[in-house]
Structure formats: C-alpha cells, structure tokens
Structure 1
Amino acid sequence: MIRLLKVKEKQREVAQANGGSSHVKKQTAGELRLHKDISELNLPKPCSIFFPNGKDDLVNFEVSIKPDEGYYRGGKFVFSFQVSTIYPHEAPKVKCKTKVYHPNIDLEGNVCLNILREDWKPVLNINTIVYGLCHLFTEPNYEDPLNHDAAQVLRDNLEQFEINVRRAISGGYVGQTYFSRNQSCN
C-alpha cells in the first residue's frame, strides 16, 4: 500500500512540476499491479530482467535464464513478456527469443506452460511465471509438448536427448534444424 501511495505522490509531483497541468497519464489498476509485481520480484539466481524500452515501459520486458544445472546448463535463454492492459485478469504473453531444442518450447518461441494458459489466475504474478520458466529447464515435460520430436526423444532416449540439447546449445544441426551457438556457451 505504501508503494501505491508513493506512485500517486510521484504523479502529483510531476503534475506540479508541469505547472499544475495534469498531463500525467493515470495508471490503470493493471499497471499499478504490474508495478507492484515487478518491484517485489525475487528472481532465482540464474535469472535477470531487462527493460529494452526503459523502465517507463513496464508492460514490455525481457527475462533471461542461465540454467546452472540439468540438460540446459551453460545456455542462456531470453524470454519476452508483453503484459495486457487487463493484467492480472489475463496472463502475460511470453515468447522465447532464443531458438532452443526443448519439448515445451517450439522453434517459433511459443511456450507451453500451464500457468500461461488454462491455469492462469489473477493471484499469480510475474515471479510465478519466471519460476515456471526456470522449472521448464530443470524438468522438461514430454507429456504436454509443443516440439513433438524433442518430446519423443526425451521420452524414449535420454542419452540422445542430452546429446541433442548440447548440440543445439553449442551450435549445430539437430535433425534438419540449425541452432546458432548459444551466447552464454563457453
């Protein structure tokens, strides 16, 4: 509540600095909630957040994840977030900007994460989504795939799956698909 009051106080200060004119855009309830969610982020160690359009544009941001364990260890995966004007009543749109060999992320960057679809509830927040994305890298799921080939290999041949992930991260072909060397790779 204190943070919300600070936002309103800041709006009044800006209005007074503009000669008393209130050309300051009022924040919607969704924008206030998003501001609160971002200010209270408690990102896991391998994650960071970036605002490509500056901190004034909270509805468009990126989260990078650098897994430090599991199949995807050593890679860096960037996700773009677009937050709707009716947030938190609608989940943010999340896309993976990094081409990745993963059963739950297709080659166009679409992400299969239940809390971004049917299990979204307004009580969830940005932090919950980031933890869900991190979980995809520690526990890929072949039962609800977007990339059916990766899911089948994960289900049927773990050793080959790990080889394919390493090949994709270090740069090369997996089947007919070429993956650029992942920028975090040594």
Structure 2
Amino acid sequence: MEIEFINEGWIFQLGYIGAMIRLFKVKEKQRELVENANGGAPTKKQSPGELRLHKDISELNLPKSCAITFPNGKDNLMNFEVSIRPDEGYYLGGTFLFSFQVSPIYPHEAPKVKCKTKVYHPNIDLEGNVCLNILREDWKPVLNINTVIYGLYHLFTEPNYEDPLNHEAAAVLRDNPKMFESNVRRAMSGGYVGQNFFTRCI
C-alpha cells in the first residue's frame, strides 16, 4: 500500500522508498556474496581511530634510534611495537621495546603504552608501566603517535626523579647519579640490581 505525504510541495511515497531500501539491501548482499566467492574478506568499516592512526603513521618522522613494527600485520594497525635505542645518556646502547594499543576512539583517548623490556628506570616500573604526562593528564587530541614516541625517547635521555614509578631508582638518581649510572649499566648488561634480575638489552 502506498501512502502519500504532502509537505512543502514534495510528495514522498513510502512504498517507493521502501522498495529502494530493499533494493540497496539486495545490492549490498550481492556485493558480499561476490567478495566471499572471490575469497576476499568482507570490507570492514574503519573506526575514526583507525583513520586517524593511518594518518599519524603516514606522517611519522622518527629519529634514527626509533623504529616501529606491526607484529600482527597490516590487518591490525591498532596494536604495534616501537623500539628505542638511545644514542646518548645513561641508557646509551640499550634497546627498549614498547607495545602500543590504540583505542577505536583515538585520538580522544591516549594510546596504552607498556615497556616490554624490563628496565631500571625511575619513570618505568618493573611491570612495564610508563609514567609520561602526555599519556595521562596532559593528553590532548592534537597530540599524535609521533609525539608519544619522542616523549618515550626523552625519558631515556633525561630520566626524571621528580615524577617516579620506580621510587628506589628515582632516589638513587637524585642522591647518587654515579651509582645510578652503575646500576643502569649492570641492568642493561644482564644482572641483578638489588633483588631484581634484568635481562641483557645491550
């Protein structure tokens, strides 16, 4: 049954509109069947976070000491790893691996970042949690992956004892920088610092 609405000179016929909607659904179904028959996976609509992340990755401008990899391949860009090899400071020569998990609502939520390399560091605890202000209260949607990687790199060139996660390491850095340097070298070479064993990363 067709019902007509007259509104500001326009006539809308519900029967016609319903038929058009059904036709669109049939076309969509046919497209899916063709894709499946050809062995192609149905195309998945990208979230705004994925679209923004694609843009961020295409515009990366990293120092030579940083590298990004995608262990799960191109189908999962929202989870990736970044390795940082500081070329100055206490951590010179070490290689530190970080995992990134990016939310579908990125950039309205900061990426979740963990250090996969056990490290003796005032701003990274022994479980790999990272204390970096732009990953917490200072995150803003105008920031991007490039900014975060530079922030992580900065933690290694200038560790900060005033905002610690590893309070013991922070106290040593504050009170005895020479001992702190010795502890960092021992940890990176693979050995014990206090009760904690660190695997070699140098």
After TM superposition, is the score higher than 0.5? yes
Cα deviation digits, residues 50-94 of structure 1 (max 9, x gap): 101002211000000001111000100000000011100000000
Aligned to 1:179: 198
Q: Are 2:147 and 1:128 aligned?
A: yes
Task: Tell me the percent identity.
Answer: 78
Q: CA RMSD in A?
A: 2.0
Gaps of 5+ in 1: 1-13
Q: Which runs of 4+ in 1 moved over 6 A?
A: 19-22
* Counterpart for residue 51 of structure 1: 70
Deviation string for 1:78-137 (max 9, x for gaps)?
000000111000000000000000000000000000000000000000000000000000
Aligned-partner SS, 1:94: strand
1:181 is displaced (CA, Å) by 1.1
Cα deviation digits, residues 21-40 of structure 1 (max 9, x gap): 99211111111001100111
Equivalence for 1:87 = 106
Q: Tell whether 2:50 aligns with 1:26.
A: no
Structure 2 segments unaligned to the other structure (5+ residues):
1-30
Q: Does 1:164 align with 2:177?
A: no
Matched residue of 1:110: which SS?
coil
How many angstroms apart in 2 are the aligned matches of 1:30 and 1:74?
Answer: 34
Which protein shows a greater Rg? 2
* Counterpart residue identity of residue 74, structure 1: G
- How many residue pairs get matched? 170
Look up the SS of the partner of 2:171 in the other structure: helix
